[in-house]
Chains A and B, each alone.
Chain A
Amino acid sequence: DTAVSQTPKYLVTQMGNDKSIKCEQNLGHDTMYWYKQDSKKFLKIMFSYNNKELIINETVPNRFSPKSPDKAHLNLHINSLELGDSAVYFCASSQASQETQYFGPGTRLLVL
């Protein structure tokens, strides 16, 4: 019944590895997002995506790439992980690009 789900909930990995975080929404929404919340608790948009457009926050390194196999999923791939990538990553979705966003439970990434 979870509207927006993410896997895994926790991810511990070594520097330099490549990892993916999965996000699924069962709300029938057409727009999905990825946010990053750092250790200081600031929550910042990374990407927004619908079937027509990917909008990237220009501050996001190109090691991060969103992949959407279908409208219900937006996965986040991270290459060559760095210590500074440690954070909580939240997925969200909305019905249209200007509608209310619903968030997943977050994925806690720790890079050692």
Chain B
Amino acid sequence: DAKTTQPTSMDCAEGRAANLPCNHSTISGNEYVYWYRQIHSQGPQYIIHGLKNNETNEMASLIITEDRKSSTLILPHATLRDTAVYYCIVRPDQTGANNLFFGTGTRLTVIP
């Protein structure tokens, strides 16, 4: 799996957009970008994933640069419940490549 680099921590004011960056400069053409988060004392939670197009769902938006070497997860209106560790993971979309390699992630703190 391609290695990812994320800032260790970030703060965001409640109600504002949280933009979490991720660098994956060695990503291969068949590797997807996945985002998970882990709220304290809970299991990791899937947020969103994409290959090269930008994606949006009810939780977040994912912006992937044209060269696919970096991406940004956007939480449009952060709430206190969004305080968590956010993991950016790249993995190939092929049978057998089913393991998720979690790095250290970004600890997002939403401030009232």
Contact = CB atoms under 8 A, between A and B. Distances in A.
Interface of A: 4, 31, 33, 41-45, 48, 55, 57, 90, 92, 94, 96-98, 100-106
Contact of B102 (A31, A43, A96): A43
B42 A106 contact: yes
Is the contact region of chain B dominated by helix, strand, or loop, or is it mixed?
Answer: loop
B55 interface: no
Contacts of B85: 41
Contacts of A48: 98-99
A90 B43 contact: yes
Interface in B40-96: 41-46, 49, 85, 87, 91-96
Give the residue among A31, A55, A94, A98 with the most B Cβ atoms within 10 A. Answer: A98
Contacts of A105: 42-43
Contacts of A96: 95
